Amino acid sequence: MKIKKVIFYFFSMFAVISLNLHGYSGISYAAAPSVFFTLPAPGAGSVALNDIVTVTFSSEMNASTISGANFTIQDSFGNGVTGSISYDPTTLTATFAPLANLSPSTTYTINLSTAVLDATGTPLAAIYSANFTTGTVTDTVAPSVLNINPPANGTAVPTNAPIMAILSEPINPTAINAANVTLSTVSGVAVSTLSYNRTSQTLTITPTVKLSTSTQYTVSMKNFKDLANNLMPTFTWTFATGTGDDTTPPVVSSTTPANGTINVLTTTALTAIFDEDMNESTINTSTFTLKETISGNPVTGVVTFNHTSRTATFTPSISLGGNLQYTATITKGVANVANIPLIADVSWNFTTAADQTGGIKCFIATAAYGSYLDPHVQALREFRDKHLLTNPLGRKFVDFYYRNSPRVAGFIAQHAPLRFAVRSLLAPIVYTVEYPIGVFALICGVIFMRRRKNRGGNHV
């Protein structure tokens, strides 16, 4: 009877756990709010001494909970900054305005506690903190408009063309609202949604109804202030639409490195220039990728886009491997500002230089394991940097190795049986480097057992 109860309780508990793992808890939870972005941006440097701090949330917040107790700014010594706090429900943005200028060349931390709640009473998912560092001067220069689309006085503008303005510096997000940004015709204001990209300082105006054909439009931006409260003069421009949509797909005009380039520096950033302005949101690490050609191992990096030069840039997170071929790809998920995608993926190859100052690589290990990014290769490189390059004898060995190994590595890379054999030979070295304590314990154990066996034999 007891066994049956145990079995019953076991399966009951298993069922409850399974249901919860698959989301069938019977309880619904409100999604926790989060910080969408902050200005100054996390990690920003040379921040003006008279800048304010803004925090934009993912959802509408309870203003009463965004207070001096829950929203603080401290320097690296833990000294709090005194300031006034406000919240704008239209832009979901909280503002911290210091009562005095910040200290020069000082790192500050923005802190938000989980006592900050959204409009439904749900707290932030986690404590939020971000750092920025001040420069040495105050900001007295008003922001300006660097570039616009469509161009001023443009004609025959496609009716599906986006309307954008690139600004010279970050704008206080609370100024970006329907009262300050308008798109209008002689018939009145066209209802639009507004979005602001803090990284590229790009304001996008999207009409809720597509632009009319053969119509003149006027865009107006006013009351824009930067984080130092400098006011931008009112900016307006006009353009006239044509007779229809833009249906021409974009084209990649050129790339750097060019396809087939050899001896490329391992610190090179990749660029692709388009024949027209592109939708920045479609250009990211999913649509602009880099990988080692043979192994297929992806390279991580940061992707950015410059509207003025129409250039997408992929900056690898680490130096590339030496004497390796890489394949860069821009997928047809990339689209122009009218959201017309590329016709097909665009790929190109290049080969890095074999030996560069500050970029020496484990050639034979890379050839054997198939990738410079393989964890075993990284372990060997770390051992080289920490133990071999720190003494004269080790440096001589490294110099000899890299003067003679590239040709050997090239031969190994072309023969699978050789790669397997070299991996087998390298295994004891690799595991000694990766697990020195374990290998040492194993050796001591073997010695101990042999000595014990020898002593036992002597007593016979």
Tokens coding 254: 């050129």
Cβ 289 vs Cβ 324: under 8 Å = no
Q: CA-to-CA distance for 250 and 337, rounded, in angstroms?
A: 9
- What pLDDT was estimated at residue 26? 44
Per-residue pLDDT of 151-200, as tens digits, reads 999 999 999 988 999 999 999 999 999 999 999 999 999 999 999 988 88
CA 303 to chain CA centroid, nearest Å: 7
Consecutive 10-residue runs of the chain (460 residues): their mean pLDDT?
Answer: 46 41 45 90 94 95 95 94 95 95 96 94 92 96 94 94 92 93 94 88 92 96 95 97 94 96 91 93 95 88 90 90 90 92 96 61 70 73 76 78 70 76 82 74 75 64
Show the domains of the chain with their CATH numbers. 35-133 (2.60.40.1220), 145-241 (2.60.40.1220), 252-352 (2.60.40.1220), 363-438 (no CATH)
Q: What contacts 113, CB < 8 A, 6 or more positions away?
A: 69, 70, 124, 127
Q: CA-to-CA distance for 166 and 292, rounded, in angstroms?
A: 35
Q: CA-to-CA distance for 408 and 354, rounded, in angstroms?
A: 12
Q: CA-to-CA distance for 194 and 150, rounded, in angstroms?
A: 16
Query: How many residues in the chain?
Result: 460
Q: What contacts 21, CB < 8 A, 6 or more positions away?
A: none
Task: Report the amino acid identity of residue 10.
Answer: F
Q: CA-to-CA distance for 367 and 406, rounded, in angstroms?
A: 10
Tokens coding 130: 């971000």
